[in-house]
């Protein structure tokens, strides 16, 4: 898999009792996956990004342009 440069936002949810993972560079639903631990949320987020990339490529759709932070 190519070097992944997409953002993940990981946030604890008291309501869901888990870490929620958002992938803001991909349009559509905001929350994409979750994990019981932070590490599990990161792993699930990476898997979700990889799955989205595969789906975009299978549909011959251009990938979203990732917003990359620049240091000043």
- pTM value is 0.84
Please report, for residues 47, 52, 72, the alpha-carbon distance to residue 4 in angstroms, rounded to integers and kept in the order given: 11, 12, 22
The pLDDT tens digits of the residues spanning 4-61 come to 789 999 999 999 999 999 999 998 878 899 999 999 999 999 999 999 999 999 999 9
Q: Is the per-residue pLDDT at 1 higher than 60?
A: no
pLDDT higher for 68 or 16?
A: 16
Residues 9, 41: Cα–Cα separation, whole Å? 10
């Amino acid at each position: 898999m190519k070097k992944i440069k997409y953002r993940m936002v990981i946030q604890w949810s008291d309501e869901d009792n888990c870490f929620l993972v958002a992938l803001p560079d991909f349009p559509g639903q905001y929350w994409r996956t979750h994990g019981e631990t932070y590490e599990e949320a990161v792993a699930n987020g990476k898997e979700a990004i990889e799955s989205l990339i595969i789906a975009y490529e299978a549909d011959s759709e251009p990938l979203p342009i990732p917003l990359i932070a620049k240091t000043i």
